[in-house]
Amino acid sequence: MLLTITGKDALISAKNVVVLTGAGISAESGVPTFRGEGGLWRNFRAEELATPEAFEANPKLVWEWYDWRRQLLKPLKPNKGHEVIARFEKRFPEFLLITQNVDGLHEKAGSKKMVELHGNIWKVKCLKEGKVTDNFEVPLSRIPPSCECGAMLRPHIVWFGESLPYDAIQQAYRAANECDVMLVVGTSTVVQPAASLPIIAKENGAHVIEVNTEETPISSIVNESLIGKAGDILPEIERLIDL
């Protein structure tokens, strides 16, 4: 059984739907997840490199990691899971996609009503002016890259130990508090504060549906834990509710 009847009815009658995604939604596009076997680069784990301290100590090494990820990401395309979520925007009166991913694949799939909690690997920020600009240069011609003003650029990404953008996390908390249904797709629910969003939704009375290839710490708390690939399950859910 895919969705329970309750889950199907909850989605069909939903006025306000939130989708929270993590690295698992991009796995079928070929993007290594953080905590799966693909999460290593030169034997470093993401948590060791995605920190202000690592960047301070060795900006070249951290930028080489991002440049490697950008080269890997450049040819990759959104998958069926991203595309269903992009279509869901028009399906429900109120909708918000909250993603932890920085790969830009949701935007490529057409998602617009979206909050990127952890930034975007295709944006850079000037350390002096604080200006955020797009940067699609692959590979980077200079590592670390610098701004026209001469100052060093950093990835416009939220590192461990850094606060999330205030507006983004407030919008996410509000959406979690107000939604009728939350779909939690492809996240290990390890990283805070994103991992608290499904709990907030459940406490607000939303019907929370998890889609993951394995159990997670919230699987026993959500209303429905659907085990399988997002690229298989999301199109199934779309078919089921559009019948």
Q: Which residue is listed with tokens 């490529």?
A: 108
Residues numbered 88 to 147 that lie near ligand BV8 (CB under 6 A) are 100-102, 118
The set of residues, in sequence order, having a beta carbon less than 8 Å from that of 67 and lying 6+ positions away, is 138, 139, 140, 143
For residue 108, give both structure tokens.
């490529």
Whether 165 and 123 have beta carbons less than 8 Å apart is answered as: no
Q: Does 48 bind ligand BV8 (CB under 6 A)?
A: no
Binder to ligand BV8 among 15, 161, 203, 239 (CB under 6 A)?
161
Site membership for ligand BV8, residue 80 (CB under 6 A): no
Does the protein bind ligand BV8 through residue 47 (CB under 6 A)? yes
Name the residue number minimizing CB distance to ligand BV8.
Answer: 24
Return the structure tokens found at 155: 């990835």
Contact (CB, 8 A) for 71 and 43 = no
Give the C-alpha separation, 61 to 213, whole Å. Answer: 32
Question: Is position 118 annotated as part of the catalytic site?
Answer: yes
Among 34, 63, 92, 95, binds ligand BV8 (CB under 6 A): 34
Which residues between 12 and 31 bind ligand BV8 (CB under 6 A)?
22-24, 27-28
When asked if residue 212 is in the footprint of ligand BV8 (CB under 6 A), the reply is yes
Q: Which is nearer to ligand BV8, 42 or 90 (by Cβ)?
A: 42
Residues 6+ apart with CB under 8 A from 72: 30, 31, 32
Interaction site with ligand BV8 (CB under 6 A): 22-24, 27-28, 33-36, 46-47, 50, 100-102, 118, 157-164, 186-188, 190-193, 211-214, 216, 229-230
